[in-house]
Structure 1
Amino acid sequence: MRTLLTHATLIDCVDPQARPDCAVLLEDGRIRDIFPAGSAPAVGDAEVVDLKGAYLLPGLWDVHIHPDYFQSLTDMPLPEQVTLFGHRLQQALLESGIVGLRCAGAHHYMDVAWKRAFDSGQHLGPRLFAAGHFLTTTGGHFLTSGHALEVDGPYGWVTAIREQIKNGVDHIKLNLSGGIMGPAWDLHRHSFLLPDELKAAFDICKLREFKVMAHATNPAAVKAAILAGAHSIEHGYILDDECIELFLEHDAWYVPTLSISHLTPGQASNDWEKRWVKNRNLAQSLCCRADAASDVHQHGFIKALKAGVKMALGSDIRPLKDAALLELGLWVRDGATPWQALVAATRNGAAICGMGEQLGTVEKGKIADLIVVGANPLEDINNVRRLQLVLKDGRIVADKRGTAR
């Protein structure tokens, strides 16, 4: 199958400049060639899609997601939860152009099940990277989510990690500290693991060659995780100068999840944020905790951004079709340029998942997971919402040109 996209304004997420009137040839699910203005090839048997100047860019990634939270299976039985998760994943692809997602915790390995279904072609959906359960200690983080497993002692951690591996996960999610969203004893300034537990958990991951996605929210937890070999630090609500130095020295990734500390009634700054906050209806006590953490979180985010720490975009909120778009807006609101935010949600999203050679930019030879939007996201990052087309493996899977603004 060959498709020629003509009259595209190309944002390839390699060069920070938009290139007008390009043509892109797709063949067998990949980008066969890219032609500058005025040099489109003979059509041949290719289907021609005239983009009429719209903006062609890589599909978006959200590298910190969870299924919807239910406190017990009596609230929603497991089959319905699994089905709902699949629906949310498909919505993210088809309605928002989120082509890749990395899970940060899901009970009963529902993320593994959907990953296999999507990868096999059994169902249409985004590229999904599975974590299985997120692992924490007894009395650890976010136990009411249903996605946490409480484990204790060095061999408790080793056993739990081996179970995740056996059940087909792509990476291991370790919760090393508390969070903002939790009961009074679940605080983001607290670390949870004892040194022998931390060592055992990371040792078995190294032996089995599994990357660690580390929930680490305070300087002590961040430093311990990086020194132990974490692939990525999630949240990092409090970062000091030594944290930044260690990120750079160890080439670790940072996924700041600004949405957790920034989306409260007092901080919502546009209609999308206000609508999400109203629907979320977060308890006042948790809003207060988020508000109290917000400025310090922003400070660490800016410090990491200016220092050149590798950063990818992850939201940690739901619904998935809205989450990455809200997080993109918060990146820019907190001081990133639209270019930095867009790279975090495309090129870096693919790279943190080990897919940087195949996805995340518009370059010859790469897999054609692409989106088309109606206005320039380098001028206003919220223009990614003006979605016209979504392509997966070079095939149009969503066409909104009749309704796009």
Structure 2
Amino acid sequence: MKKYTLLLFLCALFVLQIDAQQFTPQVQRFINVNSDLVAITNVTVIDGTGAAPKTGQTIVLNKDRIQDIGNTSSVTVPQGAKVIDGTGKTVIPGLVMLHEHLFYTKPFENWFSVGQMTFTFPRLYLAGGVTTMRTGGSIQPQTDLNVKKWINEGKMTGSKMDVTGPFIEREGPRVPELGFIGNAEEVSKIVNYWADKGVTSFKVYNNITKEDLRIAVNEAHKRGLKVTGHLCSLTYEEASEIGIDNLEHGFMASSDFINDKPENICDPFAARTALANEDLDGDKINRLIDLLISNKTAVTSTPVVFEPYTGHEVVPGGGLDALAPQVRERVEQGYNRRLNRDAASISLFNKNLQWLKRFHEKGGLLVAGTDPTGAGRTVAGYANQRTIEIFVEAGFSVTEAIKISTYNGALFLGRQKEIGTVEKGKKADLILINGDLQADIKNIRKMETVFKDGVGFDSAKMFESVKGQVGFN
């Protein structure tokens, strides 16, 4: 009998070990909550649905799920649960961001180049509250797939990832990390090869043709996958009519406003000038917004990568100390050169945000991302928090800004039943913030614990661990 009881005990222990997420010591050092039962009491909840914030709430987490949520007076805290006092604090869903990269700007002389940030960026994204991310194009897709796998296995610290394949692009400006196709027939090979490898979306780029996009969309859709694009040679209207699922950078990459635009030709200077000249309430932009909504084409806003210099931080979101010393020096020099010389950029930045607000208010699916490229001012994690601040500064309500950055991303990924909101039965992906977002949206920077699948990670500790390293690895 004793042997039988011992055998049952060992079997139960084995099952529990299989069921629990296992983490290496390198990951464990960032975990500050790892209990099967957790109760966050008397906290304000912004649930990601767009509903008004609720005060005096208690949330019960059971392993990787939200077991219960409601008024503190009506929710029973389970015996043995780890209790976290949420007084004066706010819980929001884990961020679901859709234009992220595991690479960063690394120019050399007159060459634009990017370098892989395999170790710093995954950790920074999680530190910044991103529990699920889609890479918006990969320069090393196999590296990104490995990182995704190791995060899932508890061997690396980072967000859950949807990996996008390599950029689908024809030769244009010299960016060494981009692969270039020579003909449309190559597109289907790229899509199917990388889909077999495990990527879950594809991105077309500045110089593709209509035929390239048609093939990419058809091949991806056959496999239940989606296509997004940072466009120039194709207009948003052309891409939307072909069936692209998503357009990147708000309206900043739109070439729709060029008069008599040549087919399949990218002229970024003409596109920028035409964009600047379009009236805030112009007929073209209003027709374009209506078309995108009619075709159910989602738009990703990436405001941080376009954030002006004058009156703004060197690294938006406060991430200057994250940069390696040589990189910091270069970024600060570039910032100082542009300071008080960016009036045109400020005007276009604000106009784009107003167009996006109109798109959102009319029923378009607006999602959020960061794009850590450009002049090197956009840094993973810090930029994700800053994105929410920018939405609020542009006139979106706090609840709208949170919904765009959480539920809308989950909806686009087709995972809204599992993630994106703080609701009973969903994955325990949420963020505990030390402050009131309604009182000051900059409290978004006071993240204490980022829960991913019910395991809490120390935001400040993750940020601190990679200071001075961005730009190296």
Normalising by the smaller structure, the TM-score range is 0.7 to 0.9
Are the structure 2 counterparts of residues 313 and 68 from structure 1 closer, same or farther at C-alpha, using a change threshold of 3 Å? same
Match for residue 187 of structure 1?
Answer: none
Q: CA 1:328/1:378 → structure 2, altered by over 3 Å: closer, same or farther?
A: same
CA contact (8 A) 2:128 2:459 kept: no
Question: What residue is the counterpart of 1:171 in the other structure?
Answer: 201
SS in structure 1 at match of 2:235: helix
Instruction: Describe the shift of the 1:173–1:241 C-alpha distance in structure 2 as closer, same or farther (beyond 3 A).
Output: same
Percent same amino acid among aligned pairs? 21
Which of the two has higher C-alpha Rg? 2
Between the aligned partners of 1:89 and 1:273, the Cα distance in structure 2 is 17
Q: Give per-residue Cα distances to partners, 1:88-118, cap 9 Å, x unaligned.
A: 211221x322212110122221221111111
What amino acid does structure 1 have at the position aligned with 2:451?
L
Classify 1:278/1:251 alpha carbon distance in 2 versus 1 (closer, same or farther; 3 Å).
Answer: farther
Decide whether aligned partners of structure 1 residues 87 and 225 sit closer, same or farther in structure 2, where only a CA change above 3 A counts: same
Does residue 370 of structure 2 align to residue 315 of structure 1?
A: yes
- What is the rounded CA distance, in whole Å, between the counterparts of 1:371 and 1:274 in structure 2? 19
Instruction: Describe the shift of the 1:161–1:387 C-alpha distance in structure 2 as closer, same or farther (beyond 3 A).
Output: same
Match of 1:181 in 2: none
CA distance in 1, matches of 2:86, 2:330: 35
Question: Do the aligned partners of 1:69 and 1:145 also contact (CA within 8 Å) in 2?
Answer: no
Report the equivalent of 2:140: 108
Instruction: Mark the CA change 1:68 to 1:15 in structure 2 (over 3 Å): closer, same or farther.
Output: closer
The one-letter amino acid of 1:133's match is: P
Which residue of 345, 348, 351 corresponds with 2:411?
Answer: 351
CA deviations on 1:266-309 (whole Å, 9 max, x unpaired) are 35279956876987344868986855743542343233133221
Please state how far the C-alpha of 1:358 moved relative to its aligned partner.
0.5
Task: For residue 399 of structure 1, report the CA deviation from its aligned partner.
Answer: 6.5
1:210 equivalent to 2:246? Answer no
Asked if the contact 2:129–2:385 (Cα under 8 Å) also holds between the matched residues in 1, the reply is: no
Looking at structure 1, the residues matched to 50 and 105 of structure 2 have their Cα atoms a distance apart, in angstroms, of 39
Q: Provide the secondary structure at the position in 2 that maps to 1:357.
A: coil
Q: Write the distance in 2 (CA, Å) between the matches of 1:279 and 1:62.
A: 27
Pair 1:92–1:245, CA change in 2 (3 A): same
Q: Write the distance in 2 (CA, Å) between the matches of 1:145 and 1:53.
A: 49
Matches of 1:161 and 1:322 in 2, distance apart?
A: 32
In structure 2, what is the Cα distance between the partners aligned to 1:275 and 1:33?
Answer: 36
Note if 1:144 corresponds to 2:188. no
SS state at 2:308 partner: coil
State the superposition RMSD in angstroms.
3.1
Aligned counterpart in structure 2 of residue 245 of structure 1, from 290, 296, 300: 290
Q: In 2, distance between residues paired with 1:334 and 1:145? A: 36
Give 5+ residue unaligned stretches, structure 2: 1-35, 257-284, 321-327, 373-377, 464-473
How far residue 216 of structure 1 moved from its aligned partner, in angstroms, is: 2.9
Is the CA contact 1:305–1:336 (under 8 Å) kept in the aligned structure 2? no
Measure the CA separation in 2 of the matches of 1:340 and 1:53: 21
Q: Deviations over 1:8-39 (max 9, x none)?
A: 11211225322222111111210011131312
Paired position in structure 2 for 1:294: 349
Match of 1:34 among 35, 57, 69: 69
Residue from 312, 320, 327 that aligns with 1:268 = 312
Partner of 1:257: 302
Q: Secondary structure at the match of 1:107?
A: coil
3-state SS in 2 of match to 1:149 = coil
Alignment partner of 1:89 is 2:89: no
Question: Is the 1:338–1:379 contact (alpha carbons within 8 Å) kept by the matching residues of 2?
Answer: no
Alignment match of 1:223 (pick from 237, 246, 251): 237
State the 1:71 CA deviation: 5.8
Which stretch shows the higher mean deviation, 226-235 or 39-48?
39-48
SS in 2 for 1:352: helix
Equivalent position amino acid for 1:7 in 2: N
TM-score by length of 2: 0.71
Taking structure 1 as reference, are residues 197 and 132 closer, same or farther at Cα in structure 2, changes over 3 Å only?
A: closer
Q: Is the 8 A contact 2:319 2:379 kept in 1?
A: no
**Runs of 5+ unmatched residues, structure 1:** 178-191
Partner of residue 303, structure 1: 358
Match of 1:69 among 105, 118, 122: 105
Match of 1:57 in 2: 92
Aligned length: 374
